[in-house]
Chain A
Amino acid sequence: MNDKKLIITGLVVFLMIVLFPFWYNRGKAVPPPEVKLTDKAKAAKECVLSKEYMRAEHMQILDLWREAVVRGGQRVYTNPKGKEFVMSLSNTCLDCHSNKADFCDKCHTYNSVRPYCYDCHIEPPKEKS
């Protein structure tokens, strides 16, 4: 244990480097994103399933839909309330949520999620504001 000084200095330097981002960003929490609903989505009141479920699990239902449509050839989804939807990302989801930049991308960017859906599926053209 003759290298006590060296080891402790090393540890301190290591901790400083590791903890630097926390120190640097202290008190600067990025506000959580607020998604904007289109008028059409507001008028519909409820999505395919409840808002809470959609917010947390929409990727699950998208996966279910993809499986059903592409591999099962089934195209109509009936929700627990008996309302029917054609299972399509571009034509059903994005029909209501036509503001991808203010709706989908807001949370995805915040959470650093990069879904590759839109490599193929066509997103609605940007609305003129």
Chain B
Amino acid sequence: MDTSRRHVLQLLGLSAAALAAPPVLDALAAGPPAAESKIGPAKGALTAKQWAMVIDTRKFKSEADVRPLVEACHSIHNVPHWDEKRWEIKWLWSTKYESAFSGTASGRFGPEALEDRPFLVLCNQCENPPCVRACPTRATWKREDGIVMMDFHRCIGCRFCMAACPFGARSFNYRDPRPAIKQTNKLFPTRMKGVVEKCSFCAERLAEGKKPACVEAAGGKLAFGDLFDAESEVRKLIRENYTIRRKINLGTEPAVYYIV
């Protein structure tokens, strides 16, 4: 068979047309009905460049001051309560001064006032979060408003983030959490076995224009606002009081400030 140059070119042209046809046809075919619909934020959603929290530790005298806050957080987020310590799930909890500020606390001889004071600790929503860099599936990432968010759908339970977090702010569901939830909040999902969870600065409440549950329950002991807004409540408190943050030498830039 003779193959002329013309014949080869014709074949090439036809093949190219055949390759190009499906995408064009797909585009011409009716697009999904979702094309005309819109997606947007809820009205009145709170926004910021970097959400931050100021905890006035002087106003927390004993565990009794802390408990309602933890209760508020854990009940609305369906955080399971295990008696077994190694299965514990924590979003917000309290610890001692020397544990919260290990490495910076004065150690042997510290101020007496701080010794018995409960220090609320939670995810620091770091400006430079090491957990985000450790996550292989991007199940955790930094949102535009500074919140270090978790996508429970995507978490594969590798726990790299827990190893990366210097604050122990993340907990792993070693078991199905459902039996350990006393009363489920129907408005918020639970988690499943094999997923990491942590505080999300109540991203779901901010979207409705509400402040985080712990801030609401604290009645002024906690302040919440935009760190990069010089006029915000948190900036005002940071300006007027001496504040410390946890493990700043690690360079993660925690967004939770403590007035001591």
The reply to whether chain A is a binding partner of chain B is: yes
A contacts, CB < 8 Å to B: 49-50, 53, 57, 60-61, 64, 66, 68, 70-80, 86-87, 90-91, 116, 119-122, 124
Residue numbers of B with Cβ under 8 A of A are 32-34, 36-43, 45, 141, 143-145, 149, 151-153, 184, 186-187, 189-192, 203, 207
The answer to whether B39 and A121 touch across the interface, beta carbons within 8 angstroms, is no
Q: Which residue of B lies closest to A49 (CB)?
A: B33
Q: List the B side residues contacting A60 at CB < 8 Å.
A: 32, 34
Identify which of B37, B42, B189 contacts A120 (C-beta below 8 A).
B189
User: Are B189 and A86 within 8 A (Cβ)?
Assistant: no
- Name 24 interchain pairs, CB-CB below 8 A, sorted by A: A60-B32, A61-B34, A68-B39, A72-B39, A73-B41, A73-B144, A73-B203, A74-B40, A74-B41, A75-B45, A76-B42, A76-B43, A78-B38, A80-B33, A80-B36, A80-B37, A86-B42, A91-B187, A120-B189, A120-B192, A121-B189, A122-B186, A122-B189, A122-B190
Cα distance A90–B187 in the bound complex, in angstroms: 7
Q: When chains A and B are docked, how far (Å) is the Cα of A49 from the Cα of B37?
A: 9
Q: Are the C-beta atoms of A78 and B32 separated by less than 8 Å?
A: no
Task: For the complex formed, measure the closest distance between the CB of B205 and the CB atoms of chain A, giving whole angstroms.
Answer: 11
Given the known interface contacts A80-B36, A122-B186, the answer about A66 and B207 at a Cβ–Cβ threshold of 8 Å is no
Please tell me if the beta carbons of B153 and A90 are within 8 angstroms of each other in the complex.
no
CB of A78 within 8 A of CB of B40, answer yes
CB distance from B91 to the nearest CB of A (A): 16
